[in-house]
């Protein structure tokens, strides 16, 4: 379910006081309005110039489990993920705080022709594809997310022990000086190392308006994808397309482009 975020200044006074006690008074606040997974999100600048990114949800919200996943996996993430600084619950809200990072663009450009970011995003996906899923993080199997859109016999194809991000959208890659960050680990799971690259292909079609053929060429630069069983890759892309189609049929608005991109990507990967 999408969440309509509120401005930081609209939070209860007790929540803002709790944040101020940790970040410091005299801070500046910039609300982060893109994204649909948090009740609020903001970048705060403390009195010493340090930056902290905070996000949160009201207690009892149906997406609260995503904050639990994100905070649970945070200690085990690679260096391209911003560090979780603290978590607190106050006045009916749960708040996560992450190190603020310096970025050169609000999010990654996935355009095939002139993007300055595709190479660095590919580097992140290469490293992620070889990162073991941490046993202490309590991550669910990626299969659990897509099982309703697969044949039960496909479970072995989507089973693995690598760390999966689960949402490699352009807005979750933040280009910085000399590196690109991968944020928002709310859908982290364990699975095959090629899962995120398959999902990225759909995002190249959607966010970057690439053709499926162009997207496939970029994905092939990640060895885990290039060496993955073609049947398994096709199963995941098809399951992901079916999941978006199901959300659209359920009545979620604004999914026309997503459904079209996911279907085009899945059809391409099914083609011999």
Taking only the tens place, the pLDDT of each residue in 34-79 is 765 688 999 999 888 889 999 999 988 888 999 999 999 999 999 9
Residues 6+ apart with CB under 8 A from 45: 27, 28, 29, 51, 100
Residues 6+ apart with CB under 8 A from 220: 226
Half-sphere exposure of 95 (CA within 13 A, CB side): 28
As given in the structure block, the two tokens for residue 100 are 């603020």
pLDDT, tens digit, 9 for 90 and up, residues 173-217: 999 988 999 999 999 999 999 999 999 999 999 999 999 999 999
Bridge partners of 30?
Answer: 43
Least Cα distance to 187 among 27, 29, 7, 66 occurs for 66
pTM summary value: 0.94
Q: What is the per-residue pLDDT for 271?
A: 83
Least Cα distance to 13 among 95, 87, 88, 90 occurs for 90
Give the other-Cβ count within 10 Å of 244's Cβ.
21
Q: What is the per-residue pLDDT for 38?
A: 80
DSSP symbol at 81: S
Q: Can you list the alpha helix ranges (DSSP code H) found in 24-94? A: 64-73
Asked if pLDDT for residue 221 goes beyond 90, the answer is: yes
Phi, psi (degrees; rounded to nearest 5) at 35: 100, 155
Q: What is the per-residue pLDDT for 26?
A: 64
Residue 113: which pLDDT band, with cuts at 50, 70 and 90? confident
Residues 6+ apart with CB under 8 A from 4: none
CA distances for 238 relative to 163, 191, 198, 221, 264, angstroms = 21, 17, 10, 21, 10
Distance CA 132, CA 152 (A): 25
Distance CA 30, CA 51 (A): 11
Residues 6+ apart with CB under 8 A from 79: none
């Amino acid at each position: 379910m999408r969440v309509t975020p509120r401005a930081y200044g609209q939070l209860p006074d007790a929540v803002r006081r709790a944040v101020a006690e940790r970040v410091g008074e005299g801070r500046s606040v910039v609300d982060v309005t893109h994204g649909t997974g948090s009740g609020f999100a903001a970048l705060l600048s403390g009195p010493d110039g340090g930056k902290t990114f905070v996000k949160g949800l009201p207690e009892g919200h149906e997406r609260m489990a995503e904050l639990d996943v994100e905070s649970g996996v945070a200690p085990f993430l690679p260096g391209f993920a911003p560090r979780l600084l603290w978590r607190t619950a106050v006045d009916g809200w749960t708040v996560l705080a992450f190190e603020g990072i310096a970025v050169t663009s609000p999010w990654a450009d996935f355009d095939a022709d002139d993007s300055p970011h595709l190479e660095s995003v590919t580097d992140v996906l290469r490293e992620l594809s070889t990162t073991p899923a941490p046993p202490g993080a309590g991550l669910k199997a990626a299969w659990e997310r897509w099982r309703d859109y697969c044949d039960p016999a496909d479970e072995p194809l989507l089973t693995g022990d690598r760390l999966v991000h689960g949402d490699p959208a352009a807005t979750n890659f933040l280009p910085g000086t000399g590196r690109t960050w991968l944020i928002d680990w709310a859908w982290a799971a364990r699975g095959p190392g090629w899962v995120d690259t398959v999902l990225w292909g759909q995002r190249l079609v959607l966010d970057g308006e690439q053709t499926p053929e162009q997207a496939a060429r970029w994905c092939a630069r990640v060895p885990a994808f290039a060496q993955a069983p073609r049947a398994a890759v096709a199963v995941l892309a098809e399951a992901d397309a079916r999941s978006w189609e199901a959300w659209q049929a359920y009545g979620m608005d604004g999914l026309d482009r997503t459904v079209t991109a996911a279907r085009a990507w899945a059809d391409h990967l099914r083609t011999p």
